[in-house]
Amino acid sequence: MASTTAHTQQAKSGNRFGALLLTCLPALSPCGAQSEALEKSLGEINTLQERVELPHQNPVYLLTQDEVIGVQDGTIISITEQAPQGATTFDLTAYTVLPGLIDLHTHFLQTGSTDIDEAAEQASSYLESGFTTCLDLGSPNNLSLQLRDAIERGDMKGPELLVSGKIICGDPSRDGEDLIRYVTGVEEVRQAVREQAELGVDWIKIATSDPGQCMVHDESYTMLSKEEIEAAVDEAHKHGLKITAHAHGSLGFELAVKAGVDRIEHGTFMTRAHIDLLLEYDTTLVPTRFAWFYNYSLAVHAAKKEPPAQARKLLEFYNDEAIESERILQEAIQSGVKIGFGSDLGAVPHLGEKIARNINEFTLLEQVGLTPKQLITMATSGAAEELGLEDHIGKLEVGFEADIIAVPNNADKDITSLTMPVFVMSDGEIIKDDVR
């Protein structure tokens, strides 16, 4: 095959302990193995290569182990056995080629920040890390809409974004926060959903239970009443929008599922009864393990600064919580609850890493029993379905958007391979090409 190879030469988490740095859990932690794996996957993240863009008006062909993927104008135009004579090709035969990854729960604006430049840097890092589509579930002053539009216009590099803007929340202690649209009463809930819809959001997010309750298990706790949650779901669906609920457990979780939300975020303190509800209503759970793990690490370290007796009490508490949250998630998975891939990055700081750390979610989900193959499906075709975009993204098929990545060749056995994309194409544009 006489073809020119065009390789380029450069080719609210609500944590009350403040912003400590991510550190390993102490040896006494039941999650020591998790910690090691996390550190390992952080360590394996490659340094960024300089981004190189190529013109893509003419078709390019990606040679994979099984087929040749033709791409033009941002779309997969052909799947064939051979590239045409003289065509521009990229030889990815030594790698595993996958659809671009999809993160169902991100915050491009870090908690507490309204710095658009910082968000732009993060958007770029998500893309370089192989994430070509993200759902942003909570942004101060609805800034994520501007980010989404800037990316769509081509003014900013980043994954295709879907956004919820502000989080609709009934907790009076959050009233006045940039991130929160505080509501009280059914009418105000409807009004808030309408406002978000009119602004042009893609999803509605409500908060119905909070991690703040984790020190006090009050199963009757909810941030919004049954009527308020039902009104939010009704109003969102009336506007053709999907709605998700931030819910860690308790009554707020139960009411949200029963009211018909499309998804639950977190579920950290759910019970068997919550699992049964998820199954009964066929509701997807996005467990955001990385966010929980991160905040748990912070809490454990903060606890160590307390007087010994108090520290022991706190450590015991958090260790028990860690064991139980992992156990109940395993039970949910084994029971057949649909699990979605979402990192909650942004609620968890990036710590200046140039590469987005969404990938840590894979490692943590593998540790609760999901196989690399299941995880890859979750973060590609499964996530596309969650977003209602299953006819456009998440698969390498003719007519689909040309969101394509290549990773080292054992991704279905070693999920950390996904931390090392050597090639990233987004909407047909070459974002990264480290293939030699």
Query: Which is closer to Zn ion, CB of 339 or CB of 347?
Result: 347
Q: How far is the CB of 354 from Zn ion (least distance, A)?
A: 22
Torsion angle of C-alpha atoms 170, 173, 175, 176, degrees rounded to 10: -160
For the CB of residue 343, give the shortest distance to Zn ion in the complex, in Å: 9
CB nearer Zn ion, residue 135 or residue 402: 135
Contact residues for Zn ion (CB under 5 A)?
Answer: 344, 347
Closer to Zn ion by CB, 60 or 347: give it.
Answer: 347
Closest CB to Zn ion among residues 61, 290 = 290
User: What spatial distance separates the first Cα and last Cα of the chain, rounded to whole Å?
Assistant: 19
Smallest separation, CB 364 to Zn ion (Å): 15
Identity (one letter) of the amino acid at 258? K
286 or 404, CB closer to Zn ion? 286
**81 C-beta neighbours (distance < 10 Å), count:** 7
- Minimum distance of Zn ion from residue 101's CB (angstroms): 18
C-beta closer to Zn ion: residue 139 or 416: 139
Nearest to 332 by CA among 225, 253, 245, 412: 253
CB of 184 to Zn ion, least distance (A): 22
Residue with tokens 């909810």: 222
Q: How far is the CB of 111 from Zn ion (least distance, A)?
A: 8
Least distance between Zn ion and beta carbon 143 (Å): 15
The minimum distance between CB 95 and Zn ion, in angstroms, equals 32
In the complex with Zn ion, the residue whose CB is nearer, 101 or 347, is 347
Q: Which of 5, 8, 9, 34 is nearest to 22 (CA)?
A: 34
Contacts of 422 (CB under 8 A, 6+ apart): 95, 406, 407, 408, 432, 433, 434, 435
Of 225 and 288, CB closest to Zn ion = 288
- Strand pairing category for 4-5 and 88-91: parallel
CA distances from 94 to 105, 270, 335, 436 (A): 31, 43, 37, 10
Do 17 and 100 touch, CB atoms closer than 8 A? no
- Write out the DSSP string of 366-417: HTTT--HHHHHHIIIIIHHHHTT-TTTSSS--TTSB--EEEE-TTTTT-GGG
Task: Give me 339's structure tokens.
Answer: 């699990």
Q: Are 183 and 157 in contact (CB under 8 A)?
A: no
Residue 105 Cβ, how far from Zn ion at the closest point, in Å? 6
Q: What angle do CA 204, 205, 211 make, to 5 degrees?
A: 175
Distance, CA of 414 to CA of 435 (rounded, Å): 20
**Min separation Cβ 285 and Zn ion, Å:** 14
Interatomic CA distance for residues 215 and 320, integer angstroms? 11
Q: Considering the complex, state which of residue 225 and residue 244 has its C-beta at the smaller distance from Zn ion.
A: 244
Nearer to Zn ion, 70 or 267 (CB): 267
* Contact indicator for 101, 130 with CB cutoff of 8 Å: yes
